[in-house]
Amino acid sequence: MIEVQHVTKRYGPVAAVDDVSFRVEAGQILGFLGPNGAGKTTTMRVLTGYLPPTEGTATIAGFDVLEEPIEVKRRTGYLPESPPLYPDMTVREYLTFIARINRLPAAERPSRIDRVMERTSVGDVADRHCSKLSKGYRQRVGLAQAILHNPDVLILDEPTAGLDPKQIIETRELIKELAGDHTIILSTHILPEVAQTCERVVIINKGRVVAEDSPDNLTGRLHGAVTIQLQVDTLGADPTGTLQAVPGVASVNVGEPGSDGRTVEVQSAQDVDVRRDIANAVVSNGWGLLEMRRARLSLEEIFLQLTTAEDEAGEETSAPDEETEEPAPATESADE
Amino acid sequence: MSNILAIAHRELRSYFVSPIAYVVVGLFALLYGYFYVASLAFMVQFSSQAGMFGGGPQTVNVNEFMIRPLLSNTAIILLFILPFLTARAYAEEKRSGTIELLLTSPLSDMEIILGKFFGAFALFLLMLAVTAVHMGILFWYGEPELGSILTGYLGLALMGGSFIALGLLVSSATRNQVVAGVGTFSLLLLFWVLSWMSDSAGPTAGAILSYLSILEHFDDFSKGVIDTAHVTYYLSFIAFGLFLTAKSVDSERWRG
C-alpha cells in the first residue's frame, strides 16, 4: 500500500532523511519511532506530498507522490504534528470545509460528519470555535479531519501528543479499530504506544532507519544476555562472592541493604538459565529470597541502544542489522 | 471549480468573523464619504464661481467635476487599504500551520490561490457596493451619466484585482502579516509613483515607466473611457501576480 524507496530529503547540505526505505502492507499499522528531530515528520511530509523528496520515490496505493500528488492526497488522511485547525471556525464548520475540499457529495456530508465526530468523541464541542478547544480536543478534531473522507491511508504524526491518559487509551483503541479498513503510519516517541498499537516498527535516528521489525521480534532479538533482578535478605552478609560462584553468572551488581533486603542484579552469560542455581545458592546460605524476576528488555531500552549505538558508530555507520545484534549491555533500570 | 468556491467561501467567512471585514469596509466608507463631501463642495463652489460672470450658478458636468476626482481619490484609498486585506491570506495559514492542511488536501495550488483571490475580491466588491448609496444620492439630485460611472467602477474593480494579486504574492512569501501588509503597500506605492519619474526619465524610459504605473491606467476609466490596452494591462497584472504566487508557493515546498 505504501512503498518508500531510498527517500532522501536534504535541506542544503543537511540530510533530514537519508536513504529511507520501507513498505507497509494494506491494513497494517506501522509505528514510526525515533527521538525528536530524527526525521519522522519529514518522512511523513514526503508521503503526504507536502514536501518533495530530494531523491528516491514514495508511492501510495500505486501513485507516485511527485507524479500524481492529487491522487495520493485523495487517498491519504493526514494529521500533522500540530492539528491544522482554523481558529475562527466551529468544529462542525471546519469539518464541513474539509468535506468540501475533499469532494464529499453535499448530501452525505452531515451524516458523515456526525459519524466521524462520534467516533473521535468531539460531538460535545461541535459548535465551539476551534480556538477555544483544549489540546485534547484539538488533537481529536485533527484526527476527525484526517479520517473524514475515509482515506485508504492514514498518516498520523504523534496522534496522542497532549492527550490525558484516558484519551490516549481511547485514541489508541480508535487507531486499532481503523486499522482494518485503513493502512496507518503513526509516529511517536512514546515506546509503549508502539508496542501496544503497531504491528511493525521502523526505528529511525538521524534520518536513517536503524531497525525495522515487529515489536515482539525487536525485543526478542536483543535477548542474548539476560538480566535477573533479585530482592534478597542476606542478614547483613555480602552476597557477591556466593552469587559470582554460581556457574553461568557473568556479573553481579549488589545494591545497598534496605528495609526490604538488597536489590541484586545478576547478569547471566549467553543463553544460560541461571535462575534455579541462584535460588539454590541463596536458600542454602539461609538468606531470604524475597523476589526474583527476569528483567525483560523493554522497547525503551532497545530504542536507547539502537539510537546511542548509532551515536558511537559516528560517521562509519554500519548496516542496521549488525547493530541490533550486538549483545545488550547492562541496563540501569527495567520498569516493565 | 467547487474547490475554488470552497476556499473563497472560507476566506470571505474568515474576514467576517474577524474584525477585518468591518474595520476595512467601515474605514473605507468613512474615507470615501469624506472625499465624496469634499468633491461635492468643490463642485458646488466651482459652479457658483462660474456663475459670477453670468446669471446665477451654472450647471456643471457632474461626471467631470465630481465623479472623476472622486474615483481618482478612491483609487488612492484602495492603495492604502487593500494591502491589509490580503496580508493574512498566506501569512496566517503559514503561521498557524493550516497551510499544511491545504497543501496535503486534494487541491491544486492554483485552486487555492484563485480561491483566496476571489475571497478577497468578493469583500472588495462589497466595499465598492457601499458607495452605491453615495452614487444614488447624485442620481437623486443631479443627472450624472450612468455609463461613465459604471466604466469608472469597472476600472476600480480591475485595479483592485491587481492590488489583491500583488498582495497575495507578497503574503505567500512571508509568514508575518505585518511584513506582508507593509511590503504590499510599499510595492503598490512604488508602482504608483513610477509615473512621476516618467517626465524626467527620457522618452523611452519615460514611456515604459508610465506604462508600468498602476494608477496611470486608471485615468481613462475615471473619464468614462474603456480602452482595451488598460483592460489588458490590469488583466495581465492579475494573471502574472497569481502566476508568481503559484511559483512562490511551489518554491516554498522545495525549500521546506
Residue A307 lies in a domain: no
Kindly state whether B203 is in contact with chain A, defined as any CB-CB distance less than 8 angstroms.
Answer: no
Mean pLDDT of B140-166: 91
Residue A326 lies in a domain: no
Parent domain of A170: 2-220
Mean per-residue pLDDT of chain B: 89
Are both A11 and A56 inside the same structural domain? yes
User: Any idea what the CATH number is for the domain that residue A248 is in?
Assistant: 3.30.70.100
Do the Cβ atoms of B121 and B5 come closer than 8 Å? no
Q: Of A14-23, A324-333, B10-19, B94-103, which gets the smallest average pLDDT?
A: A324-333
Q: Where are the domains of chain B?
A: 2-255
Those residues with Cβ within 8 angstroms of residue A80's Cβ, 6 or more apart along the chain or in another chain: A41, A142, A157, B97, B100, B101, B104
Are both A213 and A232 inside the same structural domain? no
pLDDT in the model for residue A333:
40
Domain count, chain A: 2
Are both A67 and A186 inside the same structural domain? yes
Mean pLDDT for back-to-back runs of 10 residues, chain A (336 residues): 90 87 89 84 90 91 90 93 91 94 92 92 91 89 93 91 83 86 86 80 86 74 66 81 81 79 78 80 86 70 64 41 39 39
Q: How many CB pairs under 8 A join A and B?
A: 73
Cβ atoms within 10 Å of A124's Cβ, excluding its own:
10
> Could you identify the residue written with the cell 457658483?
B48
Judge: B105–A73 Cβ closer than 8 Å, yes or no: yes
pLDDT in the model for residue A118:
92
Backbone angles phi, psi at A86, to 5 degrees: -90, 115
Mutate to test the interface with A, among B22, B105, B110 (most CBs of A within 10 A): B105
A296 vs B127: which has the higher pLDDT = B127
Among A205, A220, A235, residue at a domain's last position: A220
Are both A151 and A272 inside the same structural domain? no
Residue A207 lies in a domain: yes
Residue A125 lies in a domain: yes
Nearest chain A residue to B255 by CA distance is A11
pLDDT in the model for residue B6:
94
Judge: B104–A97 Cβ closer than 8 Å, yes or no: no
pLDDT in the model for residue A279:
86
At position B114, the amino acid (one-letter code) is: L
- C-alpha cell belonging to residue A283: 536458600
User: Any idea what the CATH number is for the domain that residue A20 is in?
Assistant: 3.40.50.300
Among A220, A252, A272, residue at a domain's last position: A220
From the number of C-beta atoms within 10 Å of its C-beta (0-12, 13-18, 19+), residue B147 rates as exposed
pLDDT band at residue B54 under the 50/70/90 scheme: low
Report ipTM for this prediction.
0.87
Are both A128 and A97 inside the same structural domain? yes
Residue A257 lies in a domain: yes
Residue B236 has pLDDT above 60, yes or no: yes
B144 vs A309: which has the higher pLDDT = B144
Among A203, A220, A237, residue at a domain's last position: A220
Kindly state whether B106 is in contact with chain A, defined as any CB-CB distance less than 8 angstroms.
Answer: yes
pLDDT in the model for residue B246:
94
pLDDT in the model for residue A316:
39
Residue A313 lies in a domain: no
Are both A139 and A231 inside the same structural domain? no
The whole-angstrom distance between B50's CA and the closest CA on chain A is 56
The whole-angstrom distance between B148's CA and the closest CA on chain A is 41
A276 vs B107: which has the higher pLDDT = B107
Distances B144 to A266, B64, B135, B136, B190 between C-alpha atoms, Å: 101, 9, 9, 10, 33
Rounded CA-CA distance A120/A139 in Å is 10
